[in-house]
């Protein structure tokens, strides 16, 4: 298109030929080649997605996370993006995002989360997650992991599907303070003790924010592959579709290989094939580059 702009700058008759070459996009109405409304809206949408992807990609990761969190908190969106930022970044990355948030918006991330989620049952969990600075070494106290798996099982049983598990102080303490390797071991013992993975029990109790936190902390590739699958559905809403851009950009330098593997395992298709079937134009090409399709 840039080439066409330069070549036909003073040749409007050439542009007529350009329009006629896109018969589905332009239709003749007398002397006018009119751009069909639905295609115009589609093109605007595709350019907007490509623009948003490039802007996110170009940002420093700390600023990007700070802006993502701020947008969510002040637009009354679900808490999932804040959970992603809090639970899938390293301790230093989360600290950097908190510093960027304060510099950009003159509030701390913690105080904005506490205020915006003040009437939500998951408020304490969310504040604890964004405030965390987790140990990132490999050491795990197996005895403590077993004890906390037992405590989680007792909390799930006592909640009994009443939807109050996210307000349990012991559950919040474990999820907001323990290292990720520790939580992986804790959830392993949970399955051994109770016969189900903890995410299965949380899914049955419909504790969505708690479930998202557990997956982001202990199985981020599985979580992000599910987010992408939801974004690629025909029925996905605007915010759901935005998730495809967000995940592709934020995870491309981290665990995209694992996400591709998790997607194929869960949904029986290659991630790059699913994206190619749904996205279009330069937006599609950018997505495929970010998910590493060209490295296969």
In a domain, 122, yes or no: yes
Structural domain span for residue 94: 61-133
Same domain, 237 and 287: yes
Kindly list the distances between the CA atom of residue 82 and the CA atoms of 99, 102, 142, 253, in Å, as whole numbers in the listed order: 15, 15, 30, 19
Residuewise pLDDT in 10s, the chain (296 residues): 566 656 665 666 666 666 666 666 666 666 556 666 666 666 677 788 889 999 999 999 999 999 999 998 887 667 899 999 999 999 999 999 999 999 999 999 999 999 999 989 999 999 999 999 999 999 999 999 999 999 999 999 888 756 589 999 999 999 999 999 999 999 999 999 999 999 998 887 788 999 999 999 999 999 999 999 999 998 888 778 889 999 999 999 899 999 999 999 999 999 999 999 988 888 899 999 999 865 54
Same domain, 138 and 205: yes
pLDDT computed for residue 153 by the predictor = 94
Alpha-carbon distance 295 to 109, whole Å?
37
In a domain, 255, yes or no: yes
Total domains in the fold of the chain: 3
Same domain, 208 and 243: no
| Cβ count near 102 (within 10 Å) | 16
In a domain, 26, yes or no: no
pLDDT computed for residue 257 by the predictor = 95
User: Where among 218, 246, 277 does a domain terminate?
Assistant: 218
In a domain, 3, yes or no: no
Write the CATH number for 84. Answer: 1.10.220.10
In a domain, 187, yes or no: yes
pLDDT computed for residue 44 by the predictor = 75
Same domain, 152 and 201: yes
Of 122, 124, 120, 121, give the one whose Cα is nearest residue 110. Answer: 124
Alpha-carbon distance 257 to 164, whole Å?
36
pLDDT computed for residue 254 by the predictor = 92
User: Where among 102, 133, 164 does a domain terminate?
Assistant: 133
In a domain, 113, yes or no: yes
Q: 55-86 in b/e burial notation, b at 16+ Cβ within 10 A?
A: ebbebebbebbbbbbbebbeeeeebbbbbbbb
Taking phi over 0 as left and psi of -120 to 50 as alpha, with beta for the rest, 268 belongs to: left
Same domain, 165 and 126: no
Q: Are 61 and 295 in contact (CB under 8 A)?
A: no
pLDDT computed for residue 210 by the predictor = 94
Same domain, 139 and 214: yes
Same domain, 76 and 124: yes
Q: Are 264 and 275 in contact (CB under 8 A)?
A: no
Same domain, 148 and 192: yes
Same domain, 167 and 186: yes
User: Where among 194, 218, 242 does a domain terminate?
Assistant: 218
Supply the pTM of this predicted model. Answer: 0.85
pLDDT computed for residue 159 by the predictor = 80
In a domain, 36, yes or no: no
| DSSP three-state, residue 243 | helix
Same domain, 129 and 142: no
In a domain, 45, yes or no: no
Q: What is the DSSP string of 107-158?
A: S-HHHHHHHHTTTSTTHHHHHHHHH-----SS---HHHHHHHHHHHHHHHHH
The C-alpha angle 220, 223, 229, rounded to 5 degrees, equals 140
């Amino acid at each position: 298109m840039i080439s066409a702009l330069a070549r036909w700058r003073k040749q409007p008759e050439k542009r007529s030929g350009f329009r006629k070459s896109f018969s589905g996009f332009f239709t003749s109405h007398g002397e006018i080649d009119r751009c069909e409304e639905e295609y115009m809206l589609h093109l605007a949408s595709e350019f907007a997605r490509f623009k948003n992807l490039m802007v996110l990609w170009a940002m420093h990761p700390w600023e990007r996370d700070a802006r993502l969190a701020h947008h969510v908190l002040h637009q009354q969106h679900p808490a999932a993006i804040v959970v992603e930022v809090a639970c899938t970044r390293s301790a230093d990355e989360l600290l950097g995002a908190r510093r960027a948030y304060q510099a950009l918006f003159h509030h701390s991330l913690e105080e904005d989360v506490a205020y915006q989620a003040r009437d939500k049952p998951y408020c304490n969990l969310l504040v604890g997650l964004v405030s965390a600075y987790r140990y990132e070494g490999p050491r795990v106290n197996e005895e403590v992991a077993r004890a906390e798996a037992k405590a989680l099982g007792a909390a799930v049983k006592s909640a009994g599907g009443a939807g109050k598990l996210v307000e349990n102080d012991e559950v919040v303490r474990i999820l907001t303070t323990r290292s990720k390797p520790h939580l992986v071991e804790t959830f392993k013992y949970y399955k051994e003790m109770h016969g189900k993975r903890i995410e299965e029990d949380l899914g049955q109790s419909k504790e969505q924010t708690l479930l998202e936190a557990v997956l982001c902390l202990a199985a981020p590739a599985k979580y992000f592959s599910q987010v992408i699958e939801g974004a690629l559905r025909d029925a996905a809403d605007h915010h759901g579709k935005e998730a495809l851009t967000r995940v592709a950009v934020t995870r491309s330098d981290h665990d995209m290989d694992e996400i591709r593997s998790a997607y194929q395992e869960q949904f029986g298709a290659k991630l790059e094939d699913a994206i190619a079937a749904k996205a279009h134009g330069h937006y599609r090409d950018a997505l495929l580059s970010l998910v590493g399709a060209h490295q296969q």
